[in-house]
Structure 1
C-alpha cells in the first residue's frame, strides 16, 4: 500500500489519452505478482497538484488476503493539507463507541477563552474561591459546546469543503478564486488539526 507514482488505467489521470511505457510495466508487474487492486469508490483521484489530478495511491493484495479478510473495504480521506488523499483499509464490522468528555488544553488556543474566563470570574463577585470554581464550570461547559464540541466533526466539515473544491478541479474548474478558497479552508484546517493534536497529547498523557 502506498504511492506507486504510476497509473494503471487511462482514466486514472485527468486528460490522459494513452498509457506510458512505465504504466504498462507497472500493470505487467501487478499481473506477474498475482495482485489485485482494492477498489476505491469514493475518490476519482488521489493526487492533486494545481490542475493535475491522478490516481497513483493504491492498495494491492493477493486473493488469499481477501479470503482471510472478506469484510474489509477501502475508502479515501479528504487530502487536507497534503497533495495526496489518505487511503484507509477498514473492517466494516468494527463500530467505535463515543469518547468521554474531558476539558481541553486546546481551549487556550482560542483567543477569546481567557477573556471569557475573566469576565465570568468577575461576574461571580466575592464568592468563596472554591464556590467560584464550581460556578465557573457551567459557563465553561456552555463555551465548550459552542466553540469546541466534537473537534473531529469540525475538521470533517472543513475537509468536506476542501474535497468539494478538489472535485471542482477534477471536473476542469480552476481559477484564482477557487485556489484562494482552498487556501483559506486549509488555514482553518491547520488551526483545528493543531487543537486536535493538543487534545490527543492530553488524552495520552504524553
Structure 2
C-alpha cells in the first residue's frame, strides 16, 4: 500500500471505521501519522467515527494527515440543492476545529462524487498545521472519474510549480545595523551614462545584484542563524547547570540571547511580509499564523493547470510521496 523506499511503517491501529499508521520518512526520518477512513451514512454512526478518530489522534504526538470518504460535506455549498447547515455538517466542522485540522482547497473540480444528477464533495484530505508546515507546497487534486461515482483525489506534496524567482525587497533587511547607510553608499558609487530613465534602471539593476550578494554572504539565512544560536544557547545553559558561572559564559549567553531576539524579530517581519497580514500590531509574534497565511497565498496564486480547448496541461511534479483516494 506504500512505497517502502519512501516511508517506513512503524505502528498501526485498526478501528471500526478507519485504519491509522505511524510512518517514518526514509530520507529524513520525519515521523507522521495517516488515517484512512470510510464514513457511515447514518448520523449516529458518523459521530462514532469522529470519536474514533479523535481517540486515535491522541495515540501519537506527531503531525497528522487524514483522508477518506467521510460521507458528509463540510459546507452546504459542497452539495447540490443543499443550502443550509445540517447537524451532521456541524459535527464535522466541530471535529475539524477541535483537532485543529486544515481543510485544503480542492484543485481540478468542486466535488468528488456525482451520479449524473446530483453532486457533492464527500472525499477529502485533512492535515494538521505541523504536517502542512513540513510540506508547504501541498495541494489536493481531483483526478478524472473512470468507473466509480467517486472522483479519485490525491495529495501531492510538491504540487506547486515554481517558476523563476523574481527579486523582492525584504523588509527584515532594515533591521540590520547600517543597512540604510550601506545602500546609500552603493547608490552613490554607481556611475552610468545615458538618459535619466536608463541611468535609474541601471542603478536599480546594480543595487539588486549587490543586495542579493549581501543577503547571501553577510545577512545570511534566518533559519540557519536561528538554529545555530539555539544550539549555542542550549550549550551555554548546560554549562550553567553544571555550575559553570564564569563571567565569560554569562556574557556570551547575553550576547546570544540578544542575537536570537534580533533573528526572531527578523523572522517575524519576513513572514509578516509574505503573509501580507499587516493588520497585526508589531510584537504579536504569531509566526505559525504567518506560515499558514503565506502558504495559503502561494497555493491560491499558483497555476496548477491550463486548458486549451479539451486539452489540459498540468504543471506539477510528484517527486515526493503523495496519497491517492479512489
Q: Which runs of 5+ in 1 are unaligned?
A: 1-63, 75-88
Tell me if 1:95 matches 2:84: no
Kept in 2, the 8 Å contact 1:165–1:178? The answer is yes
CA distance in structure 1 between the aligned counterparts of 2:243 and 2:129, rounded to whole angstroms? 31
Match of 1:134 among 205, 218, 223: 205
Aligned length: 129
Q: Give the structure 2 partner of residue 118 of structure 1.
A: 184
Q: Which runs of 5+ in 2 are unaligned?
A: 1-52, 64-127, 138-161, 194-198, 279-326
Shift of 1:105: 0.7
Shift of 1:97: 5.2
Tell me if 1:189 matches 2:260: yes
Q: Give the structure 2 partner of residue 148 of structure 1.
A: 219
Q: 1:93 to 1:187 in 2, by over 3 A?
A: closer
Shift of 1:96: 3.4
Tell me if 1:72 matches 2:111: no
CA distance in structure 1 between the aligned counterparts of 2:253 and 2:261, rounded to whole angstroms? 12
CA distance in structure 1 between the aligned counterparts of 2:131 and 2:272, rounded to whole angstroms? 28
Q: 1:165 to 1:144 in 2, by over 3 A?
A: same
Kept in 2, the 8 Å contact 1:121–1:132? The answer is yes
Q: Give the structure 2 partner of residue 158 of structure 1.
A: 229
RMSD of equivalent CA atoms: 3.3
Q: 1:159 to 1:66 in 2, by over 3 A?
A: farther
Write out per-residue CA displacement over residues 48-107 of structure 1, whole angstroms, 9 at most, x where no aligned residue: xxxxxxxxxxxxxxxx96743555359xxxxxxxxxxxxxx9968973358977431111
CA distance in structure 2 between the aligned counterparts of 1:93 and 1:195, rounded to whole angstroms? 22
TM-score by length of 1: 0.51
CA distance in structure 1 between the aligned counterparts of 2:230 and 2:173, rounded to whole angstroms? 21
Shift of 1:176: 3.0
Shift of 1:168: 1.6
Q: Any runs of at least 4 consecutive aligned residues in structure 1 with deviations exceeding 4 A, and if so which?
A: 89-94, 97-102
Q: Give the structure 1 partner of residue 174 of structure 2.
A: 108
CA distance in structure 2 between the aligned counterparts of 1:140 and 1:163, rounded to whole angstroms? 33
Q: Give the structure 1 partner of residue 288 of structure 2.
A: none
1:120 is paired with a residue whose SS is helix
Kept in 1, the 8 Å contact 2:190–2:203? The answer is yes
Shift of 1:199: 1.4
Shift of 1:149: 3.2
Match of 1:167 among 206, 215, 238: 238
TM-score by length of 2: 0.34
